[in-house]
Amino acid sequence: MTGHPEITELDTAAKELLTEARGHDSRRTARTLVTGTAMRATLIALCEGASMADHDAPPAATLQVVEGRVRLHTRDREWVLDAGHLTAIPHQRHGLAALTDAVVLLTVSLR
């Protein structure tokens, strides 16, 4: 069927990415699943203790924890998120740390 969007099985992709992350010095890896002119969805795997350094926020974004537990933080606040949790990314500098082996789905508005 032409024009049919690609479908990703998140659980399978999460397991594959965690396996890849374990082989990287950074102990993390990512795969863009959906991209277009208005938004992008990226699956990110982080081994326990791995982090993403503080960085600026996009215009709008959400973070969904697919597997594990992470800590999302800004300079003034932090949130511990478990598998099944979804939150808006604060519109300020923020970072992310894996409290356990974890996989998150980051969806970002590009406009």
d(CA 11, CA 98): 18
Residues 45-75 have pLDDT tens digits of: 999 999 999 988 888 999 999 999 999 999 9
Separation CA 67–CA 76 (nearest Å): 26
Question: Could you tell me which residues come within 8 angstroms of residue 40 by beta carbon, excluding any fewer than 6 positions away?
Answer: 32, 34, 107, 108, 110
pTM for the structure as a whole: 0.92
**40 in any annotated domain:** yes
Query: Per the domain annotation, does 5 fall within a domain?
Result: no
What pLDDT, on a 0 to 100 scale, did the predictor assign at position 2?
54
Give a yes or no: residue 23 inside a domain.
yes
Predicted pLDDT at 4: 62
Residue 31 domain-assigned (yes or no): yes
Tell me the residue range of the domain where 51 lies.
Answer: 10-109
For 83-98, letters b (16+ CB in 10 Å) and e give beeeeebeeeebebbb
Which CATH number covers residue 41?
2.60.120.10
pLDDT band at 1 (very low <50, low <70, confident <90, very high): very low
Domain count within the chain? 1
